[in-house]
């Protein structure tokens, strides 16, 4: 399949690598050229402008946020220049408001839009084991399903409304942030009584909370292993903001999301924005005088 791929950060690069390994023809574009040149060495064509990535059968975008997606997909004219019949597969975590705007813009240009945000970190993406949320027109989803099968271990269909995939992704990231905060506060509590945080988290992630989120993030919190960042804390702040915005748009109160936002802001104020978002756990330690 002829695929355009836009956005070659940690996640995007891993996804593009797997598509090339599966034999697909890729035209890639990235704001900074280094990642694109690496893929050229693997057989990808490198686009000079984002619009060139919208000239194939499918265009995939994996950009950092609403602003980057707006600039690269809409403001650049890439969507307006898209090949008739193309399917745009949006895999980034975007606000529900912006996904609604994207839907209107895609309808105006006669282009199918499938929202397919993912759960999983870059190492999971590299292994092709992401959990992918997919929502969009049934025919368009069916066309891109072979690509989703390459990129993920499982696709979770969510119907024809891309807002459903966006909402589930935002809710999931809110729950992950909540788990990190709970582990950080619990570790500070145990440490206040002389119990090593690592021992507490080993017990709890081996018994009551024996699941990937608690086990993986719990180990990072116990070791304070926040670098290199697989998911930067500043992006976690962005995603909690997306949850608050989505809740406000539908009159759904999210009081704990406000706590998370303020704690993430405190971590940002301590210069931790580029560390992994598990560094959120250190906010509780600092407040307890344990740092």
Sheet of strand 152-157: strand arrangement = 118-119, 130-134, 152-157
Is 105 within 8 Å of 115 (Cβ atoms)?
A: no
Of the candidates 13, 21, 169, 238, the residue annotated as catalytic is 169
Cis? peptide before 228, omega within 30° of 0: yes
169 classed as catalytic = yes
Residue 271: count other Cβ atoms within 10 Å of its Cβ. 8
Active site residues: 169
């Amino acid at each position: 399949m002829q695929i355009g791929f836009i956005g070659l950060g940690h996640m995007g690069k891993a996804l593009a690598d797997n598509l090339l390994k599966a034999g697909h023809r890729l035209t890639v574009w990235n704001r900074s050229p280094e990642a694109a040149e690496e893929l050229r060495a693997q057989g990808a064509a490198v686009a000079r402008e984002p619009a060139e990535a919208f000239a194939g059968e499918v265009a995939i975008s994996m950009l950092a946020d609403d602003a980057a997606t707006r600039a690269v997909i809409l403001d650049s004219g890439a969507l307006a220049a898209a090949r008739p019949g193309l399917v745009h597969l949006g895999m980034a975590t975007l606000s529900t408001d912006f996904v609604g705007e994207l839907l209107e813009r895609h309808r105006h240009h006669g282009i199918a839009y499938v929202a397919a945000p993912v759960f999983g970190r870059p190492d999971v993406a590299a292994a092709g084991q992401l959990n992918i949320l997919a929502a969009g027109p049934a025919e368009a989803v069916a066309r891109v399903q072979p690509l989703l099968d390459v990129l993920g271990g499982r696709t979770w269909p969510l119907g024809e409304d891309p807002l459903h995939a966006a909402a589930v992704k935002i809710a999931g990231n809110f729950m992950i942030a909540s788990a990190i905060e709970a582990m950080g506060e619990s570790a500070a509590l145990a440490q206040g009584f002389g119990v090593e945080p690592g021992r507490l988290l080993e017990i709890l992630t081996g018994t009551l909370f024996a699941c990937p989120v608690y086990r993986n993030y719990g180990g990072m919190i116990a070791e304070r292993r926040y670098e290199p960042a697989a998911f930067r804390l500043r992006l976690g702040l962005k995603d909690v903001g997306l949850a608050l915005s989505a809740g406000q748009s539908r009159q759904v109160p999210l009081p704990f999301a406000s706590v998370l936002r303020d704690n993430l802001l405190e971590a940002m104020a301590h210069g931790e924005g580029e560390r992994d978002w598990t560094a959120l756990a250190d906010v509780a330690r600092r407040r307890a005088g344990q740092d």
